[in-house]
């Protein structure tokens, strides 16, 4: 349920390597919290519990109906193949994209999607040949990213088995846009932990030790990267981050990388698909609506209209408790979208957390796992020292 709310009715996402035509992405590199949030969104796409799966399946079904009538143009064929890739059905994608590429050999998105389909099907030689075509066809803005994808597949094709070493994507000194390029690869291939390792090394080289440590934590704990070399690097990065945290000036050691955007995708929610608000009942408060909050200069806070309309109403929120003190007999605490220790939310921003105040004369003992919070939402538009969202008079139970 909480995944479905988070991914509620996402619009179509545009990818290099897996191209959908309906929405562009922001320039990269994106700031780490936004990048990792969107990376997780595409990684979850295709799972049975994901609302995005239903959306993609519905779109694919509509395109299939048109295809049966012989009514698909090259753009729509490329989209249909991309949808099957995101639904984790690469064999179906091949069945669409192979004849599509034969019929339209000069179509860039068709070639790029087909190369990724071969890769997801485990045929790296075919992927390499097709991605070489995609590089030749790529427009200027995608050329470097497609070249790096081709290099990645070429390196992997030479491995007798999956290596436990870092891919040599950048022989010599990495280019200035290395982080942007690897972030793009991660969006194309969100289940590849070795790419996260690559990002961790780039962040570490930039001086952002904490991000490097968090990325390595994710690659190993969430993705199960079984590389002794990666685990050794994780220990190095984590020790450096822990030592840095002990210093008074540790907040200044955040690297020198200049970000081009706050997140990969301009928006991850279709407001028209949100549930109708019941002024007298309980209303869902999806995290996907909370994180769209913006805070401008002089604490100029702008909430989505949906969140604005929930101010003063009863809401329910699924999240993870971040305990204060011992975690026992708490009367108030923070709730975040992701669990404590999660690699991309160890330092949640103001739009990534909600303050909870329990009903009078009630307490709560910390529990791991997701909880459901029910209470009255209060929005903060005036005081920069207080949380943006507070749920008061709250009750807490383990989420189902």
Residues 215 and 292 in one domain: no
Q: How many domains does the chain have?
A: 2
Residues 286 and 240 in one domain: no
User: CA-CA distance, 21 to 109, in Å (whole number)?
Assistant: 9
Q: Which of 251, 282, 311 is the last residue of a domain?
A: 251
**DSSP secondary structure string for all residues of 120-184:** HTT-HHHHHHHHHHHHHH--HHHHHHHHHHHHHHHHHHT-SS--SS----SSSSPPTTHHHHHHH
Per-residue pLDDT of the chain (400 residues; tens, 9 = 90+): 333 333 333 333 334 467 667 657 899 999 988 898 888 878 877 776 555 677 788 889 999 999 999 889 999 999 999 999 988 899 999 999 999 999 999 999 999 999 999 999 999 999 999 999 999 999 999 999 999 999 999 999 998 776 778 999 999 899 999 999 999 999 999 899 999 999 999 999 999 998 999 899 889 988 888 899 999 999 999 999 888 877 755 454 567 899 999 888 887 677 777 889 999 999 999 888 898 888 888 899 999 999 999 999 999 999 889 887 778 899 999 998 876 555 554 567 788 899 999 999 999 999 888 899 999 999 999 999 999 999 999 999 998 7
Residues 314 and 244 in one domain: no
| Helix%, strand%, coil% for the chain, nearest 5 | 45, 15, 40
Question: Is 160 inside a domain boundary?
Answer: yes
Q: Which of 251, 284, 310 is the last residue of a domain?
A: 251
Residues whose CB falls within 8 Å of the CB of residue 39, separated by 6 or more in sequence, listed in order:
186, 187, 190, 264, 344
Residues 197 and 339 in one domain: no
Question: Is 263 inside a domain boundary?
Answer: no
Question: Is 259 inside a domain boundary?
Answer: no
User: CA-CA distance, 29 to 263, in Å (whole number)?
Assistant: 8
Sign for the pseudo-dihedral over CA of 41, 46, 51, 52? positive
Question: Is 269 inside a domain boundary?
Answer: no
Residues 194 and 229 in one domain: yes
Q: Using CB atoms within 10 Å of the CB of residue 177, give its burial: 0 to 12 exposed, 13 to 18 middle, 19+ buried.
A: middle
Residues 279 and 246 in one domain: no
Question: Is 73 inside a domain boundary?
Answer: yes
**Domain range spanning residue 24?**
2-251
The CB density around residue 9, as the number of other CB atoms within 10 Å, is 18
Cα diameter, the chain: 71
Q: Using CB atoms within 10 Å of the CB of residue 244, give its burial: 0 to 12 exposed, 13 to 18 middle, 19+ buried.
A: middle
Residues 240 and 284 in one domain: no
User: CA-CA distance, 19 to 142, in Å (whole number)?
Assistant: 11
Residues 244 and 282 in one domain: no
pLDDT at 97 (0 to 100): 97
Residues 102 and 207 in one domain: yes
pLDDT at 6 (0 to 100): 34
- 116 with 153: CB under 8 angstroms? no
Q: Which of 203, 220, 251 is the last residue of a domain?
A: 251
Residues 303 and 384 in one domain: yes
Where on the phi/psi map is residue 325: left (φ > 0), alpha (ψ -120 to 50), or beta? left
User: CA-CA distance, 332 to 70, in Å (whole number)?
Assistant: 60
CATH number at residue 226: 1.25.40.10
Residues 98 and 233 in one domain: yes
Tell me the two tokens of residue 140: 């200027």
Question: Is 267 inside a domain boundary?
Answer: no
Question: Is 258 inside a domain boundary?
Answer: no
């Amino acid at each position: 349920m909480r995944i479905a709310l988070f991914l509620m009715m996402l619009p179509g996402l545009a990818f290099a390597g897996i191209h959908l035509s309906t929405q562009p992405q922001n320039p990269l590199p994106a700031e780490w919290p936004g990048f990792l949030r969107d990376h997780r969104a595409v990684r979850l796409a295709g799972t049975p519990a994901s609302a995005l799966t239903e959306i993609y399946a519905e779109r694919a079904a509509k395109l299939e109906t048109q295809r049966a009538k012989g009514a698909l143009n090259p753009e729509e064929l490329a989209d249909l193949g991309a949808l099957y890739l995101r639904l984790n059905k690469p064999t179906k994608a091949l069945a669409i994209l192979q004849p599509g590429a034969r019929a339209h050999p000069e179509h860039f998105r068709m070639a790029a999607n087909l190369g990724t389909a071969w890769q997801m099907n485990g045929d790296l030689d075919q992927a390499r040949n097709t991605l070489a075509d995609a590089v030749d066809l790529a427009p200027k803005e995608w050329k470097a990213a497609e070249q790096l994808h081709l290099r990645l597949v070429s390196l992997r094709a030479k491995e007798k088995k999956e290596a436990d070493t870092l891919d040599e994507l950048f022989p010599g000194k990495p280019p200035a846009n290395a982080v942007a390029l690897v972030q793009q690869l991660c969006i194309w291939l969100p289940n590849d932990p070795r790419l996260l390792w690559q990002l961790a090394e780039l962040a570490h080289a930039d001086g952002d030790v904490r991000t490097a440590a968090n990325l390595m934590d994710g690659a190993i704990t969430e993705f199960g990267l079984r590389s002794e070399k990666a685990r050794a690097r994780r220990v190095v990065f984590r020790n450096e981050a822990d030592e840095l945290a002990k210093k008074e000036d540790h907040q200044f050691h955040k690297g020198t990388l200049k970000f081009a955007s706050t997140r990969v995708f301009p928006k991850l929610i279709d407001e028209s698909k949100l549930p109708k608000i019941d002024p007298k009942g309980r209303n869902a408060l999806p995290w996907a609506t909370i994180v769209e909050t913006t805070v401008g200069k002089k604490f100029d806070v702008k909430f989505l209209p949906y969140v604005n309309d929930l101010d003063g109403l009863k809401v329910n929120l699924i999240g993870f408790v971040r305990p204060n003190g011992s975690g026992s007999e708490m009367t108030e605490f923070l709730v975040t979208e992701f669990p404590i220790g999660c690699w991309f939310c160890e330092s949640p921003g103001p739009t990534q957390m909600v303050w909870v105040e329990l009903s009078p004369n009630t307490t709560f003992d910390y529990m791991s796992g997701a909880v459901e919070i029910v209470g009255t939402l209060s929005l903060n538009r005036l005081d920069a020292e207080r949380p943006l969202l507070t749920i008061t008079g709250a009750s807490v139970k383990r989420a189902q």
